[in-house]
Amino acid sequence: ILRESLISLSRLIPFARDGAETWLTNGGPARLKQLERDLRSLTAYEGQMSSEIIYLQDATLGLINLDQNRIIKVFSIAAVLFLPPTVVGTIYGMNFELMPELTWVFGYPFALAMMVLSATLPYYWFRRKGWL
């Protein structure tokens, strides 16, 4: 709104100043000329303030994006850690005819060990890479 007002006044003042000598007295044209200079100065200042506001807004959005990236990283790591045990448990749980824990003595501990191993290996890999 400020920019539009300044632009409107910047257009109006030169128009009024051109014919001001005939209908304005007592230094009116000089005041219009001073007003025109003030408007140019205010327009430049408004442009500078607008640029600074845009810069601050971009910086704030950048910080928000960094924070959101950290959150998404945590969700992604959690998905990677819990997906393999879920798959192992699902395969063992849905295969009713060939469940290793029914025919093999170590079948159930083996399935549990696979689930734990499939969750801990990615965890240590992420720690080693510095992602956690």
Please report, for the chain, the start and end positions of each structural domain, with discontinuous segments joined by +.
2-129
Better-predicted residue by pLDDT, 9 or 51: 51
Say how far apart CA 63 and CA 49 lie, in whole Å.
Answer: 21
Average pLDDT, the chain: 82
pTM: 0.52
Instruction: Match 């910086």 to its residue by tokens.
Output: 59
CA angle 12, 18, 23 (to 5 degrees): 95
Please say if the pLDDT value at position 54 is more than 90. Answer: yes
The residue ranking higher by pLDDT, 68 or 56, is 56
